[in-house]
Amino acid sequence: MKPLAGCVVTNPAGDLLLIHRTTPELTQWELPGGKIEPGESAAAAAVREAREELGVETAIVRELGAATFDHAARSWHYTWFLARITAGEPRPVEAKFDAVGYIPWADLAARTDISINIRNLIAQFPDPPHKVT
C-alpha cells in the first residue's frame, strides 16, 4: 500500500481548495498532495506537496483522518490534514496541473470530475470539517 498525504484548505465560506490535473491518464480536480517520501512524516509530505503543486506555504491545523482506496491496480492510503495558507497565492506550479480553484463543499458530491480521494473525504465529512480563515 502506497502512503499519500495532502492538505484540506478551505476559505471562510467553507469552499475546498482544489487543483485540476490534466494528464493523458487523469483529468480531475484533486487535493494538493502526493506520495510520502522515505523518512518523511505524513504532515511534512502534505506541506511539501502544497508548496510543490500550488506554490504556497501552509501550516497544519490538525490531522483530519485517512482512507484507503484502489486506483490504477494499486492500493493507496491517503491521510488528510486540515491546513491554512500562511504565504503565497495558490497557482498551478507543475505542468500536470492547469487550474486552481475553491469549489463549494455542497457541490462536491454531485461532481463527476473529482478524484476518488475527494469522494472519500466528503463521505467522512458531509459538511466542511472546519472553516479556516
**pLDDT above 90 coverage of the chain, percent:** 83
The matching CATH number, chosen from 2.40.40.20, 3.40.1410.10, 1.10.30.50, 3.90.79.10, for 2-87+99-105+115-124 is 3.90.79.10
Give the up-direction half-sphere exposure of residue 83: CA atoms within 13 A in the CB hemisphere.
Answer: 31
Q: Span 104-132, mean pLDDT? A: 89
Q: What is the CA radius of gyration of the chain?
A: 13
Residue-range domain boundaries for the chain: 2-87+99-105+115-124
Q: What is the pLDDT of residues 97-116, one digit of tens each?
A: 999 999 999 999 999 999 99
User: Residue 128 — very low, low, confident or very high, per pLDDT cuts 50/70/90?
Assistant: confident
Q: What pTM does this model have?
A: 0.92
| Cβ count near 61 (within 10 Å) | 16
Q: What is the pLDDT of residues 22-53, one digit of tens each?
A: 999 899 999 999 999 999 999 999 999 999 99
Give Cα separations from 64 to 18, 78, 98, 116, 128 (angstroms). Answer: 17, 11, 27, 17, 11
